[in-house]
A = this chain, B = another copy of it.
């Protein structure tokens, strides 16, 4: 049982993990070892105190180096589901189960609500994880919708196993695979009764499929943790960064504007201290 599961390796997650590590907490930290894609792609950052006028890639490298220096490693796994168990949380990441007393969501800003019917059909022909669920679709007709270039390897994997693969990406993807067809228009809607059986493109074209993989940098938090109270596209938190779930906190872009490194770092710090206080209250039981 971990003391805390931190989801996200951006500035908010890093800020929290640095503080929690100093306090010798048992931490599982999920996210890309490349840290924040968003920071890395920023041209110049002029208003982050302590690091004067810096390119995003450089600042992101500083973040990475600092985590390394503190011996902090992230598990490069995608969290697809969190379940509140009363006094702790179960976290499903790349089909492995983890347990933690507290959770910090620092997942960045996700596509607001997902596609039409996405939440309803999730787990019924719709999956967020090719590695986890790809084997279910061997030889079948599959669509993949991907907005995260770092997940292109998952598209390759789906090319290998599917009978026919329809691909839409936001970053321009080409392939020689004979069973693959790159779509020019994005998917706007998923259809099906008990199970997803077709997709609809933005021009109204319908394509029959056996399954759909949606690969985004982040999954809408309320899909991952059902019942999580939102304020529009943002996770609702109080001044201590706690969500409506006791012991579950959120920090950074996912809690709202301004989408700024300084704000994320501050919220990660506040959340870490609230987590320390909470852990102290509940006491360690194992």
Contact = CB atoms under 8 A, between A and B. Distances in A.
Interface stretch (A173-181, A221-229, A255-263): A255-263
A263 B258 contact: no
- Chain A interface residue bracket vs B: 35 or more
Interface in A1-36: 11, 14-15, 18-19, 22
How many identical chains are in the complex?
Answer: 2
Given A266-B265, A267-B266, A48 B50 contact: yes
Main secondary structure on A side of the interface with B: helix
Contacts of A14: 49
A239 B50 CA distance: 24
A50 B51 contact: yes
Interface stretch (A108-116, A122-130, A184-192, A268-276): A268-276
A77 to B, nearest CB: 22
Given A49-B265, A262-B266, 4 more contacts: A18-B48, A50-B50, A51-B66, A263-B266
